[in-house]
Amino acid sequence: MTTTNLKVVEDGDAQRAERKDAICVRNVLKRYPGKKAFNALEDVSLSIREREFVSILGPSGCGKSTLLRIVAGLVPRTEGEVLVNGKPVDGPSPEIGVVFQTSNMLPWLTVEKNMLLGARLRKLPMQQAEGRVRELTRMLGLSGFEHSHPHQLSGGMRQRASIGQILALDPSILLMDEPFGALDALTRDLLNVELLRIWQERMQTVMLITHSIQEAVFLSDRVLVMSPRPGRILHDIRIDLPRPRLPENIKGNPRYGQYIAEISKIMGVY
């Protein structure tokens, strides 16, 4: 898979400050009702600027997925406010694409048909969608597999195709919940590089939930660390590493190791 033709997108602080908030979460509380009702999130506030790549780390059960689903409009919040591109969220929106840990492709459709499905359901112009799917197939290294069915792909390819399904709808915001969590370490590293390449070419706003400190540091402009349940944002760490990021020019950078050590200490994982 080629990693050439990377566009260097190096925004300075001034340019970054000029960008608007793509996601703005203010004082969100989420209470799951029932006999054992409890608060999954309390007083969560964060903002993510247009074209920023932000990862969220936190202990298991602290409410990361709940937060992502609230931003996606898939789960209602109990209190607080969520704005996406300046508009209040009150349900799923075509501006937001969500990628989950497991592929949601339909097994009886080919890769190409799965990638076109969203456009078909939304009755978007098919000629345009077909062009975008062709480009994504190439970008995601799936050329030659257009007519394969999901079961004929490896786990990594299936997850790439799932990302393609979402990107085919051209959302301005990509929410990803542990998208590479089920993959082996090598495939995961390769897909991290692919994800950065796509992000740099298309520059969507990305909010990524992950359990991997390394993945968060390698990919992100900022890493947010949540507390144990009820989840709150405890730390907001700016990752000042050069872009474009490739393993060979980042993993030997002493700052990369320092960020990992700092976040590991915060999270008490050594």
Ligand X SMILES: Nc1ncnc2c1ncn2[C@@H]1O[C@H](COP(=O)(O)OP(=O)(O)OP(=O)(O)O)[C@@H](O)[C@H]1O
At 250, give phi and psi (nearest 5°): -115, -45
Nearest in space to 188 (alpha carbons), one of 160, 153, 227, 169:
160
Residue 267 interacts with ligand X (CB under 6 A): yes or no:
no
Interface mask toward ligand X for 5-44; x: CB under 6 A: ---------------------------x-------x----
Q: Which stretch binds ligand X (CB under 6 A): 59-67, 107-115, 136-144, 189-197?
A: 59-67
When binding is defined by CB under 6 A, the residue of 20, 61, 120, 265 that contacts ligand X is 61
Smallest gap from Cβ 89 to ligand X, in A, equals 17
Nearest in space to 56 (alpha carbons), one of 196, 192, 222:
222
What is the distance between the alpha carbons of residues 144 and 138, in angstroms, rounded to a whole number? 9
Phi-psi region of 215 (alpha: psi -120 to 50; beta: other; left: phi over 0): alpha
Residue closer to ligand X by CB (options 68, 136) is 68
Beta bridge partners, 29, equal 79
Q: Which stretch binds ligand X (CB under 6 A): 56-64, 125-133, 165-173, 233-241?
A: 56-64
The letter for the amino acid at 261 is A
Residue 65 interacts with ligand X (CB under 6 A): yes or no:
yes
Contacts to ligand X by CB under 6 A: 32, 40, 58, 60-66, 229
